[in-house]
Amino acid sequence: MPLVDGPELEIDQELTSLYSQSFTSNKGILVDNAGLAWMRWRADGLEAWWNFFEENIDAPMGRRLANAACDEEEWLISGGQIDVSGFFKKRKASDAIISRWKLYGWGMPSISPPGVEGGFLTPIVCGILQADLERQNNERYKMRWEQKTADMCRLNLEISTMPLVPSGPSKNSSNYQIGESVELQIESGWRLDGQRHCLLPSGLFSRLEDSCAGLVADISDDIRDAWPQINDGFLSMALASFRLFIAGEELFMALDAESWLETADVVFGEKGLSSPIEAKSIDENGGVELHYESLPFLPISLGMLAGAWTRCEGRPVKVELIDDEDKIVIRLFSRYELA
């Protein structure tokens, strides 16, 4: 994605300080104070990734994405992160929600009427706000959203008879050790170099993958043969990440195994996509084997790495995945034999 020049923005010192207090980095995994993994997305990149994903999975997925976001946020705040007590309880609760949204770059939530201004991918922000309002009001809702403008959406909430039972953790809710402090100069509006960003938890994408169960993606046999056969939700997410990297203009230069270690750490580790702990050359044609301790955003990381290999080598890639208890191994090499 090309960067667009614009007016220079001031550093948001309060947000920059809050971010450094709330997150650490452990082997390229962005870890919050509860030990959960998050990823930093460029907002326009997330929109493009979603479009690629829906094309791959060949089904409208907005409602499933909203449900995944709602369930994940419901679980994240089940420990009382936005709960308040005492005088002015309603105002305090609203302030707690607004502060939470500012930390993660989700936009400006409106409690009454419910909606979001300056958000990003509408199903995600609407699902998150639904969970926050259900927690605040102790009510379960049926939710529909309406896109008022390109920068504003409204939630239509109808009280549901479903019990207000918090969602459990996703299958990807591993706890990671707190790592080294991270410093990031964040401009007003959660911008980096003028570009809007946001933070999203790994559990959201795990829930989205689970919601694809039973769907058959529109993916050719030739492409399927080149990728690990996990499930069509996983493959659609990985291919969307691959296409996103190829469509962008991010440089990735790796001439050997050692440079793969260094470059993957810089390009992907700083976003929370994990850094390899070991790299090996596996052939004389650029094939590489990367070892990881953990990959909380596995399909996304896999797709991005495959895109990076294709960018480096200029050839179609073959991707293999070995996931065992001790480590995760990703092998990237030429899809076709070279003469």
Place of tokens 């203009």: 249
Q: What is the pLDDT of residues 99-152, one digit of tens each?
A: 999 999 999 999 989 999 999 999 999 999 999 999 999 999 999 999 999 899
Give dist(CA 111, CA 135) in Å, integer.
12
Q: What is the pLDDT of residues 142-186, one digit of tens each?
A: 999 999 998 999 999 999 988 777 789 998 778 999 999 999 999
In the predicted structure, residue 46 carries a pLDDT above the cut 50: yes
CB-based contacts of 155, cutoff 8 Å, min separation 6: 113, 114, 115, 116, 126, 129, 130, 133, 143, 144, 145, 146
Q: What average pLDDT does this structure show over 201-230?
A: 96
Q: What is the pLDDT of residues 235-253, one digit of tens each?
A: 999 999 999 999 998 888 8
In the predicted structure, residue 5 carries a pLDDT above the cut 60: no
Range list of β-strands (E), 170-293: 180-181, 191-192, 195-201, 278-281, 288-292
Predicted TM-score (pTM) of this structure: 0.93
Cβ-count burial 274-295 (b if 16+ within 10 Å, e if not)? bbbeebeeeeeebbbbbbbbbb
Residue 62 has what pLDDT? 97
In the predicted structure, residue 3 carries a pLDDT above the cut 70: no
Give dist(CA 132, CA 93) in Å, integer.
10
Q: What is the pLDDT confidence band of residue 11, given thresholds at 50, 70 and 90? A: very high
Residue 14 has what pLDDT? 95
- Of 153, 164, 90, 92, the closest CA to residue 127 belongs to 153
CA 210 from chain centre, in angstroms, equals: 15
Sign of the dihedral through C-alpha 147, 152, 157, 162? positive
Q: Is 80 exposed, middle or buried, given 0-12, 13-18 or 19+ CB atoms closer than 10 A?
A: exposed
The answer to whether 264 and 274 have CB atoms below 8 angstroms apart is no
The answer to whether 73 and 136 have CB atoms below 8 angstroms apart is no
Residue 1 has what pLDDT? 45
Hey, how many other C-beta atoms are within 10 angstroms of the C-beta on 6?
Answer: 10
Bridge partners, 154 (sequence order):
115, 146
Residue 251 has what pLDDT? 81
In the predicted structure, residue 263 carries a pLDDT above the cut 60: yes
Mean pLDDT, the chain, integer: 92
- Which of 27-41, 69-83, 87-101, 232-246 is the least confident region? 87-101
| Angular region, 107: left φ>0, alpha ψ -120 to 50, beta rest | left
Q: What is the pLDDT confidence band of residue 4, given thresholds at 50, 70 and 90? A: very low
In the predicted structure, residue 2 carries a pLDDT above the cut 50: no
The answer to whether 226 and 73 have CB atoms below 8 angstroms apart is no
